[in-house]
Amino acid sequence: MPPTSSSIRFQSERYAEALASFTSAHPDYSATAHIDTCRARDYGRLDVQGHTYLDYTGGGLYGESQIRAHHDLLATGVFGNPHSHNPTSLAATELVEEARAAVLDFFHASPDDYDVVFTLNASGALKLIGEAFPFAADGTYLLSFDNHNSVNGVREYARRGGAQVIYVPVRDPDLRLDERLIRHHLQAAARGHARLFAYPAQSNFSGVQHPLEWVALARAEGWQVLLDAAAFAPTNRLDLAEVQPDFVALSFYKMFGYPTGAGALLARREALASLRRPWFSGGTITLASVQGAGWHHLAPGHAGFEDGTVDYLGLPAVTIGLRHLADVSLDAVHTRVAALAAWLLGEMSMLRHSNGAPMVRLFGPKTMDRRGATIAFYLLDPSSAVYDVQRVEELAGLERISIRTGCFCNPGDGEVAHGISRDEMAECFAEPEIPVTLLDCQRLIQDATGKVPNTIRISLGLVSNFADVWRFMAFAEGFRDRDAAGITG
Ligand SMILES: Cc1ncc(COP(=O)(O)O)c(C=O)c1O
């Protein structure tokens, strides 16, 4: 039924009231009003096309000005492959080095202490560490259950090297790590062997922010620390003058949307020098000879880790993106998404069917205490049955609301959030030669146990506004009093 003019008036009155009460509860939000101006000017396509974008942890959005600046740079310059001394090559080298300096500057990393290796994405940075970390017998790879699969995947290198792999579980229901366990493991492993401790600064599943203090704690115990900042960096300040992990992995498209083919490994120079690359390639050596099979000299620093030709035309867009984020102000983005997420968490927790049953089950912390603006949940029907997660995504899509569903490449948080035991998971790995997809595994577990190992995630970022979270709540309210069986397409 099309909305009547009185229902539209009612909706806009409700919206105005909600906005007023939101801004009075979050007075610091008003100080970020320039982001509304930026959204109107630089991201107008979002509202013109009626999009509600709630997948910033999946990927950030770029401003049109970033694209124009990049286009203008390419349209007016002449750039050749950097590995030479001719003018066009030197011009490209200058842009690449400008991007490297901009990254160090953005993260307050001293060039004396840190180096930047450009990679394709965060996973590329993590793989570089995995393949080059000196994992060996008596060494340890310690990591949290809460990790992206690209951090989990490093365990294959650890196992191949003979190192022990130790997982620290997250606790249900807040999906945080037990600090006593972390301390125990950090202190229990024998010194003198290569030990790597990996965890995310912010969970891409639950939004939990794990303490950055663990970096210094682990390093004091002789560990090297790999901090996955992919989900943290887009809306939080990572200050490498204060917190000094050995390795930081991130993707730039998550921070400012464009370019998509660039990430970085920020590494303490000393830690980078302790890595052992398993091969060499064009660009990573100072010298190689074919007459002696073992004859090659690895280039020092980042050069030794950037295989072949870097994306020299794409990397200038990193400089432009960092400038854009700094102009908007990362601190303002942080303030803004924290206020919006606090509102969402409150509203989602209060949402009820007519029979009083909750409509939302949140996974992870229910307040903004030590968490970011990424929220994982189910929608529940009046009998507390879970609405089909994929159908919810489809229905959201019909309203141009972009949400994400699945496990977000974070099986550890998913298994704990949904109470899936090791034995239940084992069913999906019973026949190693048959590849079981995530969907197959979810069905297998749901059929066998009635548990629903699938999740909905919404996440906020650079130009999120109150209208976005309001529209999402209006969408969620649309499920009131509907049976889970009744929403199938
Ligand atoms: C916490 C975290 N780490 C690592 C990654 C991997 O990033 P990419 O796919 O850009 O390599 C992601 C991607 O979502 C992430 O959220």
**Residues 113-131 pLDDT 10s:** 999 999 999 999 999 999 9
pLDDT at position 449 is 94
Percent pLDDT > 90 in the chain is: 93
pLDDT at position 8 is 75
204 lines ligand 1 (CB under 6 A): yes
Query: What pLDDT score does 1 carry?
Result: 56
**pLDDT attached to residue 83:** 87
Q: How far is CA 46 from CA 18, 43, 231, 362, 421, in A?
A: 22, 6, 22, 27, 42
Say if ligand 1 is within 6 A of residue 230 CB.
yes
d(C-alpha 15, C-alpha 33), whole Å: 18
Going from the Cα of 220 to the center of ligand 1, the distance in angstroms, rounded, reads 28
Q: With a cut of 80, say whether residue 304 has pLDDT above it.
A: yes
Question: What does the pLDDT average to over 309-335?
Answer: 98
Q: Which amino acid is at 244?
A: Q
Q: Of 407, 409, 428, 441, which residue is the catalytic one?
A: 409
Mean pLDDT over each residue of the chain, to the nearest integer: 96
In whole angstroms, give the CA distance from residue 97 to residue 118.
Answer: 11
Alpha-carbon span 396 to 1, nearest angstrom = 18
Within 8 A by CB and 6+ apart from 359, the residues are 351, 352, 353, 379, 380, 476, 477, 479, 480
* CA dihedral for 304, 195, 198, 424, sign (positive or negative): positive
pLDDT score, position 204: 98
d(CA 226, CA 139): 15
Give the other-Cβ count within 10 Å of 138's Cβ: 13
pLDDT band at residue 264, thresholds of 50, 70 and 90? very high
The amino acid at residue 247 is F
Partners of 374 in the beta sheet? 459
CA-wise closest residue to 416 among 153, 205, 207: 205
Any atom of ligand 1 within 6 Å of the Cβ of 200: yes
* Pocket of ligand 1 contains residue 39 by CB under 6 Å: no
pLDDT digits (tens, 9 = 90+) for 187-211: 997 788 899 999 999 999 999 999 9
- The count of residues in the chain is 489
Residue 308 Rama label (left phi>0; alpha psi -120 to 50; beta)? left
Q: Could you read off the pLDDT of 347-403 as tens digits, one per residue?
A: 999 999 999 999 999 999 999 999 999 999 999 999 999 999 999 999 999 999 999
**In the 8-state DSSP scheme, what is residue 55?**
B
| Torsion angle defined by CA atoms of residues 65, 253, 37 and 28, in that order, rounded to the nearest 10 degrees | -150
pLDDT band at 77 (very low <50, low <70, confident <90, very high): very high
Structural domain boundaries in the chain: 5-54+329-418+454-487, 68-327
CA atoms of 324 and 69, how far apart (whole Å): 10
Query: What backbone phi and psi angles, to 5 degrees, belong to 262?
Result: -140, 135
Integer Cα distance of 50 and 77 in angstroms: 36
CATH architecture type of domain 5-54+329-418+454-487: Alpha-Beta Complex (3.90)
Query: In the annotation, is 428 catalytic?
Result: no
| ∠ CA 302-210-200, rounded to 5° | 35
Of residues 153, 155, 167, 145, the one with CA closest to residue 122: 153
From first CA to last CA, the distance across the chain in angstroms is 18
Return the percentage of the chain with pLDDT > 70, whole number: 99
Distance CA 356, CA 366 (A): 19
Enclosing H/E stretch for 69? helix 64-76
Amino acid 260 reads T
What residue's CA is closest to ligand 1, atom 12? 230
Residue of 56, 121, 226, 404 to mutate, ligand 1, most atoms within 8 A of C-beta: 121
**pLDDT band at 423; cut points 50, 70, 90:** very high
Q: Is 119 close to ligand 1, i.e. is its CB under 6 Å away? A: no
> How many whole angstroms from 58 Cα to the centroid of ligand 1?
8
| Nearest-angstrom CA–CA distance, 486 and 321 | 45
| Fold of the domain built from segment(s) 68-327 | Aspartate Aminotransferase; domain 2 (3.40.640)
Question: Which of the listed residues 251, 265, 413 should we mutate to test ligand 1's pocket, taking the one with most ligand atoms within 8 A of CB?
Answer: 251
The predicted structure's pLDDT at residue 9: 77
Output the pLDDT for position 2: 62
Looking up tokens 């307040």 gives 367
Q: Max CA-CA distance within the chain?
A: 84
Please tell me the predicted confidence (pLDDT) of residue 235.
98
Could you give the CA distance from residue 441 to residue 431 in angstroms, rounded to a whole number? 12
Phi then psi dihedrals of residue 197, to 5 deg: -115, 125
* Confidence bin at 5 (pLDDT 50/70/90): confident
- pTM for the whole structure: 0.97
| Location of structure tokens 């942080």 | 334
pLDDT tens column, 424-437: 999 999 988 888 99
Name residue 70's amino acid: H
